[in-house]
Chain A
Amino acid sequence: MTNTTELKKSALTDRQKDILQKFAALGSLVVLAFIFSLTSSAFFSVNNVMTIALQVTSIALLGIGATCVIITGGIDLSVGSVLALAGVIAAVAVKDYGAPVPLGMLLGILTGTACGWVNGVCITKLKLPPFIATLGMMLIARGVALQITGARAVSGLGDAFGELGNGSIMKIMTVGDDGFPNVSFPGIPYPVVLMVVIAFAVAFMLNRTILGRYIYAVGSNAEAASLSGVNVARVTTFTYILSGTLAGLTGCVLMSRLVTAQPNEGVGYELDAIASAVIGGVSLIGGVGTISGTAIGAFVIGILRNGLNMNGISAFAQQIIIGLVILITVWIDQLRNRQ
């Protein structure tokens, strides 16, 4: 009898802790937004919110992939390089081979998929540690991107190439008396729409499908999952393919925004992606994590950067602050788990 009541008590506190942590991350996000809107009048405007959302897309898209990989207990260091390679492939296909833009972009995305598949095979079949396998891919993908372009940016891609990164939906525009267009609502940029759709889709996959259940099971106890009939290799490989594909998509979006393919784009993005996942409560040991948490983590980083910029704080100081935020959030997470 006492045993049961004890169980109930601890279950309740466990759930409370979980809610608390979610609110803690979300709460710090709200506090950040509040502080920045006080210190800078331009911060809390429709335009700036859209700018932040746009800036967050790349971290968030990569973070979604990173979340799935980290839940299985792995890590993907290659996404920053893979996105550069994907963007370069898309641009070269369009410019040098005259492919239509959608086909070029598809090729870019599939390049990411292929890189993710190679990562997965190296980890599950060659039994390389994820850190090493994706470190290798990080160097290789970057090298190929630089090799293809001769380390030069690919420009002159045409307006159509810029559509994905710069277009938006629900843009409200009236033509004023002076003949100039008057933008009353900037619209929601396509990348933001993509981010939201993909976040919901992956969250659905993780929470509501067999595959998602298997991903958590592999990360929680790969041996037990395997002995329960889960194809651990296939599930693991899937997460790397997802991560690579999202990196490919991110690459296309980024290059499209600039209407230029930069082989040096995305250096260090893998660490932003991992940071957003970690701030959002994803455990590097595996088995634990949510897309909503990672989305919050991505926005924490995005808002910090944007707000600090608007307050004229140097890029160097920004790095220091973001570094501290990562240390503090993970430390709080550790404290929570130790109890």
Chain B
Amino acid sequence: MAMAIPFWEGNRMAGSIPEKVAQDRAGAMTDTGAILLRLEGITKAFPGVVALSDVHFDLRRGEVHAVCGENGAGKSTLMKIISGVYQASAGRIIYKGAECNFTSPLQSERAGIAIIHQELNLVPHLSIAENIYLAREPRHGFLVNRKKLHADARSCLDRLGIDLDPATIVRGLSVAQCQMVEIAKALSLDAEVLIMDEPTSSLTDQETVLLFKVIRDLKKAGVGIIYISHRLDELAQIVDRVTVLRDGKYVATGDLAATTTDEIVARMVGRSLEEKFPERTSKPTDEIILAVKGLTRAGVFSDVSFELRRGEILGFAGLMGAGRTEVARAIFGADPYDAGEITLEGKPLTVRSPRDAINAGVAYLSEDRKSQGLAIRMSVAANMTLTNMRALSNRLGMIDFARQTKATNHFIKLLSIRTPSENQTVKLLSGGNQQKIIIGKWLFRESRLLFFDEPTRGIDVGAKFAIYQIMDELASRGIGVILISSELPEILGMTDRVAVFHQGRITGVLETRNTNQEEIMRYASGYVRTRSEGQK
């Protein structure tokens, strides 16, 4: 019901204490609303790429300030600069009125800036108390003062209203509890700025409620919180202001109450199509190549259903961790699934391993070329033919090297792979050429369905274009193509339809022709789903 109301009102209602009272209370303790941290003209250049250019940001006492942007917009880089992991190439950081230049996370931590990473950084075999006071334990000479250690930890946890024994070993705690321990640690450091990177990504709904309560308490105590989340639907519950970054540039800052999620999304994706895409020659037919019904893997994805038609390129869009790769890997037999039906070209597909899937004609081009796609110390020929060694050998398993050379050179020419010879070590080739070798190895296998998982990541524009052409060529030859991509322009430029994933579910299957980045982004952040549920 709260969701049906514009969310800035929802924000006011969600607070347990009327805002006026909270502000009065906080004002009595600290100077709420004063600028705590200000970044001016922050630029960060890495060799060959500018990650941030001229970014502004400020954080007030007692506010929650969200930083939004797509993957690669520069959010993490900005946080790393604030916490001293990176040093800005240009620009100033003013913290509590003085310009600072943190050269290590330790320095920023000492100054009162704490960061809670998405992957939590606790020592699993130590207790809660030992983790909170790691490397700064209260001592009796050479010995740890256990009594004081536990008493101090107890009071930290009490401040957060957390009912955990400080002597508990961290390994047995839930993710949410670990997060609380991290927050307690930040409090014990007297942190005045707390950076939270995707804090709710692995929390259940109830745990999220508890986290938000703690965040509100911290606000009241005058702590400034920088909040990074892809879940735009939850910002309304705790966030005061939003800053949007795009492609490493500052876009806008505004009160959440004065904006809408639509506006935030539009600002996040607002770039024009920069890459060029080849004209699509393949035309979708009515014949269904792949039908997936109710595919579920507990805790990872649930009730995933979609169809792929012959001649069509289907896109999987969504944020990182939304379950796109996991669904592809399940269909490919690399991961198990609990329920669901997969039909490939009219026949039910049951796979227990990638071998089964490959034999059935399914291919998966992994998103991580180096760790999953290639044996980089082996030759181009060895990699390209690995999927189909039987085609190159006699009954005794002896390799026909003449045939291997011929086949490899055929694909080197077909895919214009730039390599001195088929015997070249793959490690020495560029990313684009490596990706083409992976494509080559699945073409050599004569696959009938190919998953391309982030096929153009880290590849230069020319090679991208070539890979798009190959995808179109495959589709027009009747081979099923599914493109998993976080690059929305790529999805819009190459696919016929898009299945949008959010938290392990498909929130919508859209006709690419009739959609745009904003709409996909809304489906991907779960905003559409929440809104429609709210309207029920």
Contacts and interface: CB of A to CB of B under 8 A. Distances in A.
Interface in B358-401: 358-359, 364, 366, 371-378, 382, 386-387, 389-390, 393, 396-399
A220 B376 contact: yes
Contact of A228 (B393, B428, B441): B441
Contact of B376 (A10, A14, A211, A221): A221
Q: How large is the interface on B (under 10, 10 to 19, 20 to 34, 35 or more residues)?
A: 35 or more
Contacts of B410: none
Q: Which of A14, A223, A224 has the most CB of B within 10 A?
A: A224
Interface stretch (B290-298, B418-426, B463-471): B418-426
A225 B424 contact: no
B354 interface: yes
Nearest to B371: A223
Interface residues of A, number: 28
A4 B416 CA distance: 13
A10 B364 CA distance: 31
B386 A221 contact: no
A229 B375 contact: no
A11 B421 CA distance: 10
A28 to B, nearest CB: 25
Interface of B: 332, 334, 353-355, 358-359, 364, 366, 371-378, 382, 386-387, 389-390, 393, 396-399, 418-421, 424-425, 428-430, 441, 445
A169 interface: no
A225 B387 CA distance: 9
Interface string A277-321: 000000000011000000000000000000000000000000000
Contacts, number: 93
Given A7-B419, A7-B429, A210-B389, A227 B378 contact: no
B374 A213 contact: no
Nearest to B329: A227
A217 interface: yes
A3 B386 contact: no
A8 interface: yes
B109 to A, nearest CB: 35
Interface string A1-40: 0011001101100100000000000000000000000000
A210 B397 contact: yes
A230 interface: yes
Contacts of B424: 7, 11
Contact of B372 (A10, A213, A224, A288): A224
A226 to B, nearest CB: 6
A43 interface: no
Nearest to B368: A223
Interface string A206-246: 00111101101100110111111111000000000000000
Contacts of A228: 354, 358, 386-387, 441
Contact of A287 (B332, B375, B399, B429): B375
Given A220-B377, A229-B355, A10 B389 contact: no
For the complex of A and B, 8 pairs with smallest distance between CB atoms: A220-B375, A229-B358, A210-B389, A221-B375, A210-B397, A228-B386, A209-B397, A229-B355
A217 B419 contact: no
Nearest to A226: B354
Contacts of A8: 420
Nearest to A10: B428
Nearest to A286: B377
A221 B441 contact: no
A223 to B, nearest CB: 5
Given A208-B398, A223-B371, A229 B382 contact: no
